Amino acid sequence: MEHLENFELEKEYEQIWDKIRYKKVDELYELTLEVINLLENHIDDKLLFHSDYEKVQYLFKKMKQKNFFYMSGSAKEIIKSANPKYEGVYEYKECVRDLKFVGSGDKDFENGKIYQSKYFNGATYSINVNHVERTVGYNYFERIS
Q: Is 95 a residue whose pLDDT tops 90?
A: yes
Same domain, 67 and 133: no
Residue 45 pLDDT: 75
Q: Range with the lowest mean pLDDT among 22-31, 34-43, 66-75, 80-89?
A: 66-75
Do 86 and 76 touch, CB atoms closer than 8 A?
no
User: Which is nearest to 86 in space by CA: 18, 22, 4, 8?
Assistant: 8
Q: How far apart are CA 1 and CA 145, in angstroms?
A: 7
Q: In this structure, what DSSP letter does residue 52 have? A: H
**pLDDT tier for residue 72 given thresholds of 50, 70 and 90:** low
Return the H-helix or E-strand segment holding 60: helix 50-71
Same domain, 119 and 82: no
Residue 115 pLDDT: 96
Do 84 and 98 touch, CB atoms closer than 8 A?
no
Residue 44 covered by a domain: yes
Look up the domain containing 98 and give its range: 93-143
End-of-domain residue from the set 45, 66, 86: 86
Residue 1 covered by a domain: no
Residue 68 covered by a domain: yes
User: How are beta strands 124-129 and 114-120 bridged, if at all?
Assistant: antiparallel
Same domain, 113 and 65: no
More confident residue, 124 or 68: 124
The total of structural domains in the chain comes to 2
